[in-house]
């Protein structure tokens, strides 16, 4: 059995259940909420960290292209 077949079978088994007599206890709900909050905060920190690097890279590229275009316009380039 290959991966696609196994994944399709598992997906079908999860979606085929019409009614489940189960509950999520408060501890599980709290844990899920903590995972969601931690994921959002981690993504925000990663975005902040990499956004600074991307912003510095772009500003350096733009400033160097502006200086080279002004050098070419002056005839000194």
Residue listed under structure tokens 């400033």: 63
pLDDT per residue as tens digits for the range 22-48: 777 888 889 999 999 999 999 999 888
Average pLDDT over residues 45-74: 78
Q: What is the pLDDT of residue 55?
A: 86
């Amino acid at each position: 059995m290959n991966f696609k077949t196994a994944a399709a079978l598992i997906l079908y088994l999860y979606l085929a259940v019409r009614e489940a007599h189960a509950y999520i206890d408060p501890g599980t709900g709290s844990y899920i909420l903590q995972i969601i909050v931690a994921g959002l905060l981690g993504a925000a920190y990663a975005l902040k960290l990499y956004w600074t690097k991307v912003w510095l890279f772009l500003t350096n590229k733009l400033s160097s292209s502006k200086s080279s275009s002004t050098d070419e316009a002056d005839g000194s380039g």
